[in-house]
A and B are shown apart, each in its own frame.
Chain A
Amino acid sequence: MAGQLREYRRRIKTVNSTKKITKAMELIAASRIAKARARVTASRPYAEEITRVITAVASQTTITHPLTTERPTPTRAAVVIVTSDRGLAGGYSSNALKRAGELVELLREEGKEPLLYAVGRKAVGYYRFRGRTLAGEYTGFTEQPTYANAKEVADALIQAFTTPTEEGGVDEIHLVFTEYISAMTQTPAAHRLLPMVLREHDEPPPGGPLPNYEFEPSAEAVLDALLPRYVESRLYAALLEAAASESAARQRAMKSATDNAEELAKTYTRAANRARQDAITQEISEIVGGANALASSN
């Protein structure tokens, strides 16, 4: 009886210490969401300007540039998958990996061989376990990515994109990451990074019609220089948004873990109280029984 009570007390202690950890992780994740969101906002002017400039160049020149031109028979495609380094974030990584799986399947059906670039330990582990070879592995920065991290991934992608297909290069670059829609909703999404999908504008874009630029030294040279910047900036934006989503997913997972711990502690406390009461009742009845036995024997 007393042993049962001790067991309950031990469990309450364990649950409470777990709760402290999950509560701390929840708070950290909450502050990281705000930080990541702020960095997304800070990076927006650059990203918007780059996109605007590319749209302007592409819409007024007739040159064919790899940045905007579809290759006639694409046979290989790079797929970048952004997941987290650590777990304890609910379905965050597995949802992104599921979305990536669908994309890979689709690319295969279209006759394109997918080359995988994994960002985050979860993706690396997932594909390693399944014996898939990865074209690139990038880990250690998913919670707080910097521009240098984005550049590292982008450099490898551009290298592959500018290599002819016969020599192992790729014709397309796809990107799978988790979009941050709100604190409650994050959805994994797949986008094609290159060749660029240019939207045909029937009406002038916001901010008036695009100006007729003069190029220095030439439109081709400007596009050549823009290509890596564009990939880097898109990747950077994706990494930041994925970081915000990761933190949001982790916050939610940790919140429900904390709630569960509270619930468990309550249940165990009740059980412990009952066990204690039972022990007392039994002791009393034993004493009474003993006293009665003594009285009747006299």
Chain B
Amino acid sequence: MPMRVAIVSPEQEVWSGDADMVVARTVEGDIGVLPGHVPMLAVLVRDQTVRVKVGSQEISAGVDGGFLSVTKEGVSILAESATIA
């Protein structure tokens, strides 16, 4: 049961699609988000790599200054700047 994941920067949506897991580092430590996670809003540490697992593949995105927002519908990563590696 995949979930909807979107990595958005102010200028555009950098990546979006269905994924199985999102791994990011918040100010309180690393977090892995699986489908059905409780709604959450976390502040991400600056300059880090967010990993998105889609099946056996993994997408890593360089993300600087942002938030991780988890809702019933999916996960959004709001970043000041984001690039797909």
Residues in B with CB closer than 8 Å to A236 are: 10
Contact A45 B41 (CB under 8 A): no
Contact A229 B80 (CB under 8 A): yes
Q: A226 to B44: give the CA distance in the assembly, Å.
A: 12
Q: Whole-angstrom distance from the CB of A145 to the nearest CB of chain B? A: 11
B69 is an interface residue with CB less than 8 A from chain A: yes
Contact A216 B39 (CB under 8 A): no
Which one of A46, A211, A226, A232 lies within 8 Å of B8 (CB-CB)?
A46
Band of interface residues on B: 20 to 34
SS class, residues of chain A in contact with chain B? helix
Residues in B with CB closer than 8 Å to A225 are: 43, 67
A215 is an interface residue with CB less than 8 A from chain B: yes
Contact B28 A217 (CB under 8 A): yes
Q: Chain B 17-32, CB within 8 Å of chain A: the 1/0 string?
A: 0000000001110010
Nearest A residue to B81 via CB reads A147
Residues in B with CB closer than 8 Å to A49 are: 8, 69, 76, 78
> What are 14 contact pairs spanning A and B, CB under 8 A?
A42-B11, A42-B12, A42-B13, A43-B11, A50-B78, A56-B41, A208-B72, A213-B39, A215-B41, A216-B27, A216-B41, A217-B26, A217-B43, A221-B27
List A residues at the B interface (Cβ < 8 Å).
Answer: 39, 42-43, 45-47, 49-50, 53, 56-57, 146-147, 150, 207-208, 211-217, 221-222, 225-226, 229, 232-233, 236
